[in-house]
Amino acid sequence: MTNHWIDIKNADCVLIIGSNAAENHPISFRWVTKAMENGAKLISVDPRFTRTSSRADIYAPIRPGTDIAFINGVMCYLIENNLYNKEYLVDHTTASYLVDPTFGFNDGLFTGYDPTKRMYAKDTWKYQLDENGIPKKDPTLSDSQCVFQLLRKHLSRYTLEKVSNVTGCPPELIVEVAKTYGATGAKDKSGTILYAMGTTQHTVGTQNVRIYSMLQLLLGNVGMAGGGINAMRGESNVQGSTDYGLLFHLLTGYLKTPRVENQTLAQYLEATTPKFNDPKSVNWWQNTPKYMVSLLKAYWGDNAQKENEFCYQNLPKLSANCDHIAMFEAMYDGKIKGLIAMGQNPAVGGPNVNKERKALQKLDWLVAADLWETETAGFWTDPEVDPKKIKTEVFMLPAAASMEKEGSITNSGRWMQWRYAAVHPPGDAKSDLWILDRIYQEVKKLYAADAGVFPDPILSLAWNYGTGEEPDVHMVAKEINGYDLATGKLMAKFADLKDDGTTSSGNWIFCASYTEDGNMAARRDLTDAPNNIGLFPKWSWCWPVNRRIIYNRASCDLQGNPYAPQKWVIKWNAEEKKWTGDVPDGAAPPGAAYSFIMRTEGHARLFGFGLADGPFPEHYEPLESPVKNLMSSQQNNPTIKIWAGEMNMVGTPDKFPIIATTYRVTEHWQAGQMTRNNPWLVELMPDMFVEMSNSLAKAKGVKHGDKVRVSTARGHIVAYAVVTNRFKPFKLNGKAYEQIGLPWHFGFKGLAKGDSANSLTPHVGDANTNIPEYKAFLCDVVKEVG
Amino acid sequence: MKISRRGFLKISGGATGGAVLGTFGVHLRTSKAYAEGLKTQYAKESTTICPYCGVGCGQIVSVSDGKIINIEGDPDHPINQGSLCSKGAALIQVANNDKRMTKVLYRAPNSDKWEEKTWDWALPEIAKRIKKTRDENWLANDKDGKVVNRTEGIGGLGGAALDNEECYLWSKLARALGIVYLENQARI
Amino acid sequence: MAEKAILLDMEKCIACRACQVACKQWNELPGEKTTFFAAAGGYQNPIGLSPSTYNLIKFYEVEEQNKLRWLFRSHRCMQCVDPACVKACPVTPVKAMTRDENTGAIHVNRELCIGCGACREYCPFTIPVIDTQAEKSTKCTFCFDRLGNGLTPACAKVCPTNCLVFGDRDQILEMAHKAVERLKMKGRHPVIYGEKELSTGTKKIFVLPEALDYYPDLPKNPKVSEDLGLFNELLKPFGTLTLTAALVGMVLAKIREVKEKNEVKS
């Protein structure tokens, strides 16, 4: 989230798209309800009529996988009807930047596409530069090569009629959404967009997020109270696990994992540190060397010295993507021999679980730490398999629950909150901190006795968290914050980190979380900031530097006056020559620095040259779709990776004519181990079910409560039918297309068992992130006999 | 507008007059317990943050005789102000649940059962597997001779259910081992 | 203590069912073994109130003129201001269905209750459920143990959207009327339920966003059966020691028989 949960109350309009906030983040509705009490409108855009839709002023149904068409249609309407915020576009975005004339777009492809590599050469996706290497601009936004005009041209193809035929949403509803949400384009109004996995779990997932951001920029909603682009995260610390680099492509604090091209630290820093000539651009990532060197100091301590590149060579270097799907493909191919799963249950939560469960059988060994015996730890007990034929050794480690250990987690609003151990874990269960510490100690012992291969990173690792039975979690938290190595004092802020080896920080964005003043995450002071908009700056702590609303410089004009004085975030105090309110995005006076400090050019990027699949969002059909793409002859995103090989079958509409989507419900959580073992929650939702329209049920001879079989090219499941008016067929080009919906929480273990929806989903991911396309695929439904 | 009352009653079903229903346990409280006053009166209280979704609601955990007897929303917490959803309200059944894992379990190759083990046995065994797999699947250089210093033989998963400090150690350990297949729930 | 009440402003409900679970958590009621969603309209479970379920969210799916509404309602004891269940409770001299002096909460004293079912028979909303195994009547206690210690009832405290609000009854009624105004402005057809029902009203004050027709299982004109007086008369001769559930059952059956005969005649 650019903003945070409480801030939703400040919105004049709440647009919930690609998420079902009422069901999956119920407490968000405490603040949505507050906003509505103050007159805000609620819009729910969703393929299904959900508990969120039940509260909405406007419910707009769209076919799964058509967000880009829908929002492009909305933006087209806003631009053609002059409902956008021009001042904001000029002052805070790249709308005025001139793009190189060689850039172009034709029939679904941008310039530079290489069909053999399924990649773009991006040499035409660039700005026109002046003699100082600074992009040329046209603040009138009229130059035909300026980003705004190019965007306008791109969007002009998304007419109401076209968008309606792609999405299935009636044109009048698209207009109603555009007008209602467009009203937040007024300078002193703001609208918030709440999204989640309904947005990201598509082959165009990144562009889906991007169009929401672009809509927010058109209306001047980013940086504002009650604005922003707000990813509602589904797990209590999935923000933290991302911040801490538990992803193949990231180290901590969003530093990039070294690639094979980065043979030396100098090469790494050269490649990952952006340069920009405009002195008004803060270009925060120019500090990358300070953060990287401080991280290496936290990892390898005194062993990390300038002479040995601060132990840079100890880090593994990537040659290819090693994302979740790639990992399970490699496992299925027998390349991965051992797997350590810390509280994750891919045998239910992964895409194409028939394949992922099979992949687990290829492992020599599996270590699974969890509170429960999950379908992953117990994959060999699957009733469908013969354990005698499975060679994998499995170590099931009993882990402590949240209230049985001490430490911090980070919520979607980036608040790092400390929690305490109330009781001891049951039996032999231990915290993950203890488990990880002991595994390291044992591995180190082995390498100390027998060097094996390349023992240096292990033997020289700085790893000392006290002498107690449990590692000292405060010592870990302090290491994350970092030290001034000369004085031994905790760092006060990341602006003081150095690239010469005199400072350490295990995660630069958390630097300032645990200082000489104490553990900031444990704070419980309810004093609000002077703007009184619910920032609560002394309650816990949030990254970066306790800034509660990021990009907040964009809430003010270039004189430092807030656009919305009644809910100001920051404002310039001319007498004292400083900003007041929230922690500003940089202390520079108004107008002296551009507002989007994390963007190299300092302006929010409407022309996204960094993306794999194009600088402007373009609609492509999901990998499996019942219709031809009406927007171009490119049926699917041309830059997605297509996984061939066994168990990767793709379904076609002749055999699988029905659209399927998966989702979560209030009463269960993720892969289910935390709720399907909980009697009160099992009471509420005891069984796997599939939701469908009355018309589909009638066509298939299915009644509410019947068991039905749902099949895709990957597998089939059996579930109870919920026949409901909340599901309706989509009308696309005059023809009706049915859809079904499946919760994905169920599996073959636990108190409540059921077939896993992910037996049906494909191994295909987004072009930029490889997040799987769980949300749109093709199936067939029949009544289960017997 | 008119909805047929009879039609609705037919589909919605009525409450039964007398009932002994299948339950997952027995009623624990008697009227006596009510009469004695608040059950949490003498409990030790501590704060925590809900482990389910990413909202980050505050909760108060009440402990009596080393056992959690109540968990409810933290009224001082500015986000949830004492409220919770059905999952957060049910958290006590994560703490007190006979399906929780309490022993290290080991499943031998081709076996059809778990065996109970101790940590002292399991940790060195796990370390041996890590070292063997790492050493046998070590790639110091790629085919062009470029340094890569990694193993593709071991995968690492998870983190969204861990604390930050645990995520940090997991990330640090995995990189020190040269693991590149390192992913968590954020990807899926 | 001023008369307390809970506002149930159902337009704000998101059917998260936290109140259903929080009720079980505080009252230590076990989860029921349920199957699928036997009730229509959504995700309701269990099928009805029970000795293990004092509070239940009901789902109503209504579509007219292409406008779909998914409505929710909390189903539980209304905590009548003038409770028929207490009048009907034949246990003497201290009633098993009792009004807590301190908080005004109507609850079952399980030590006294004989499980006869008179409370359910005469409840205008047919709420109490007899636990036939324990031979006790069961229903919402209004969390009188929490109330007595200055805490909010578990359901009202847990509610994410402040759909449920606990407070003094006069203030709650004021809030209900404000909610009605808000809903009318939005073009809804709100109804207050519990203010004047049974003439003296109840302490659960519902604001329903649409007309009562949408909630067909909720009695439009709840009434206490006229033969409550007769029932009390018939049981008068029996003291605490001779009173049994079977005896009360016989009396109730007799009254029903006479009533049915009368209905046939008329």
* pLDDT digit string, tens, across residues A713-726: 999 999 999 999 99
The 10 Å Cβ neighbour count of residue C5 is 28
pLDDT at B14: 30
Q: A461 in contact with B at a CB cutoff of 8 Å? A: yes
Question: For residues A87 and A262, what is the distance between their CA atoms, to the nearest angstrom?
Answer: 41
Q: A424 in contact with C at a CB cutoff of 8 Å? A: no
Q: A634 in contact with C at a CB cutoff of 8 Å? A: no
Q: A764 in contact with B at a CB cutoff of 8 Å? A: no
Nearest chain C Cα to B86, which residue?
C18
Per the listing, tokens 């402003």 go with C9
pLDDT at B73: 97
The residues with which B18 forms a beta bridge, in sequence order, are C130
Nearest Cα of chain A lies from the Cα of B21 at a distance, in angstroms, of: 12
Asked if C77 contacts C107 with a C-beta cutoff of 8 angstroms, the reply is no
Helix, strand, coil in percent for chain C, rounding step 5: 30, 20, 50
Asked if A230 contacts A2 with a C-beta cutoff of 8 angstroms, the reply is yes
Q: C34 in contact with A at a CB cutoff of 8 Å? A: yes
Sketch the domain layout of chain C as residue ranges. 4-79+144-214, 84-139+225-265
Average pLDDT over residues A324-333: 98
Which chain B residues are within 8 Å of A458, Cβ to Cβ?
176-177
Instruction: State the complex-level ipTM.
Output: 0.98
In eight-state DSSP terms, residue A524 is B
pLDDT at B11: 28
Is-cis flag, bond preceding C46, omega within 30?
yes
Residue type, B147: V
* C29-80 pLDDT per residue, tens: 999 999 998 888 899 999 999 999 999 999 999 998 889 999 999 999 999 9
Average pLDDT over residues A591-609: 96
Q: Which of C119, B54, C84 is nearest to A416 (CA)?
A: B54
Q: How many secondary structure helices (H) and strands (E) does chain A include?
A: 20, 30
Nearest chain C Cα to A751, which residue?
C33
Q: How many CB pairs under 8 A join A and C?
A: 93
Pairwise pLDDT comparison (A585 vs B36), residue with the higher score: A585
Q: B67 in contact with A at a CB cutoff of 8 Å? A: yes
Q: Which of A33, A665, A666 has the CB atom closest to C162's CB atom?
A: A33
Nearest Cα of chain C lies from the Cα of A137 at a distance, in angstroms, of: 46
Which chain A residues are within 8 Å of B184, Cβ to Cβ?
238, 241-242, 246-247, 344
Question: Hey, are the CB atoms on C31 and B25 less than 8 Å from each other?
Answer: yes
Provide the domain limits for residue A699.
Answer: 658-783
C84-139+225-265: same fold as C4-79+144-214? Answer: yes
Strands A483-484 and A716-723: unpaired
Q: Is A695 part of a structural domain of the chain? A: yes
Probe site for chain B from A32, A300, A337 (most B CB atoms < 10 A):
A337
CATH code (residue A714): 2.40.40.20
pLDDT at C92: 87
Two tokens, residue A505 = 């920080």
Q: Which of A30, A49, A678 has the CB atom closest to C160's CB atom?
A: A30
Average pLDDT over residues A543-552: 98
Question: For residues C107 and C121, what is the distance between their CA atoms, to the nearest angstrom?
Answer: 16
pLDDT at B29: 54
* A467-525 pLDDT per residue, tens: 999 999 999 999 999 999 999 999 999 999 999 999 999 999 999 999 999 999 999 99
Question: Hey, are the CB atoms on B93 and A436 less than 8 Å from each other?
Answer: no
Angle at A716 between CA A702 and CA A363, to 5 degrees: 160
* C108-167 pLDDT per residue, tens: 999 999 999 999 999 999 999 999 999 999 999 999 999 999 999 999 999 999 999 999
Question: Hey, are the CB atoms on C18 and B22 less than 8 Å from each other?
Answer: no
pLDDT at B9: 26
Asked if A680 contacts C24 with a C-beta cutoff of 8 angstroms, the reply is yes
* B3-48 pLDDT per residue, tens: 333 322 222 223 334 454 577 765 555 544 555 578 888 899 999 9
pLDDT at A228: 98
Predicted model pTM = 0.96
Two tokens, residue B2 = 């008119």
Q: How many secondary structure helices (H) and strands (E) does chain C include?
A: 8, 10
pLDDT at A677: 98
Which chain A residues are within 8 Å of B44, Cβ to Cβ?
422
* B163-174 pLDDT per residue, tens: 999 999 999 999
The number of domains in chain A is 2
Question: For residues C192 and C25, what is the distance between their CA atoms, to the nearest angstrom?
Answer: 29
Which chain B residues are within 8 Å of C50, Cβ to Cβ?
15-16, 19, 21
Which chain A residues are within 8 Å of C210, Cβ to Cβ?
none
- φ/ψ (deg, to 5) at A519: -85, 100
Question: For residues A454 and A432, what is the distance between their CA atoms, to the nearest angstrom?
Answer: 26
Q: Is A18 part of a structural domain of the chain? A: yes
Residue A770, C-beta contacts closer than 8 angstroms, at least 6 positions apart: A321, A323, A324, A325, A326, A641, B187
Alpha carbon A736 to chain centroid, angstroms: 32
Q: Which of residues 27-66 of B touch C (CB under 8 A)?
A: 27-32, 34, 37-39, 41
pLDDT at B181: 98
Question: Per CATH, which fold does C4-79+144-214 belong to?
Answer: Alpha-Beta Plaits (3.30.70)
Residue B36, C-beta contacts closer than 8 angstroms, at least 6 positions apart: none
Average pLDDT over residues A140-157: 98
Question: For residues A738 and A142, what is the distance between their CA atoms, to the nearest angstrom?
Answer: 44
Residue A118, C-beta contacts closer than 8 angstroms, at least 6 positions apart: A638, A639, A640, A641, A642
Nearest chain B Cα to C76, which residue?
B15
Which chain C residues are within 8 Å of A180, Cβ to Cβ?
none
* Structural domain ending residue among the three candidates A236, A268, A299: A236
Nearest Cα of chain B lies from the Cα of C93 at a distance, in angstroms, of: 18
Helix ranges restricted to H, chain C? 18-27, 84-88, 118-122, 144-148, 154-158, 169-185, 228-235, 245-265
Out of 3.40.30.10, 3.30.70.20, 3.40.50.970, 3.30.710.10, which CATH number does the structure's domain C84-139+225-265 have? 3.30.70.20
Question: Hey, are the CB atoms on B157 and A341 less than 8 Å from each other?
Answer: yes
pLDDT at C238: 80
Q: Which of A29, A685, A724 has the CB atom closest to C14's CB atom?
A: A29
pLDDT at C243: 87
* A627-648 pLDDT per residue, tens: 999 999 999 999 999 999 999 9
pLDDT at B21: 53
Residue A550, C-beta contacts closer than 8 angstroms, at least 6 positions apart: A2, A3, A223, A228, A544, A585
Nearest chain B Cα to A398, which residue?
B101
Q: A385 in contact with B at a CB cutoff of 8 Å? A: no
Question: For residues A720 and A706, what is the distance between their CA atoms, to the nearest angstrom?
Answer: 6
Cβ-based burial of A350 (10 A; exposed 0-12, middle 13-18, buried ≥19): buried
Cβ-based burial of A489 (10 A; exposed 0-12, middle 13-18, buried ≥19): exposed
Residue B98, C-beta contacts closer than 8 angstroms, at least 6 positions apart: none
Residue A745, C-beta contacts closer than 8 angstroms, at least 6 positions apart: A348, A664, A665, A668, A669, A670, A671, A672, A675, A676
Reduced to 3 states, what is the DSSP secondary structure of residue A71?
Answer: helix
Q: Is A54 part of a structural domain of the chain? A: yes
* A332-385 pLDDT per residue, tens: 999 999 999 999 999 999 999 999 999 999 999 999 999 999 999 999 999 999
CA separation, residue A329 to residues A359, A648, B155, B185 (Å): 8, 10, 12, 17
Q: Is A496 part of a structural domain of the chain? A: no
Q: Which of C48, C149, C157 has the CB atom closest to B15's CB atom?
A: C48
Angle at A6 between CA A5 and CA A11, to 5 degrees: 95
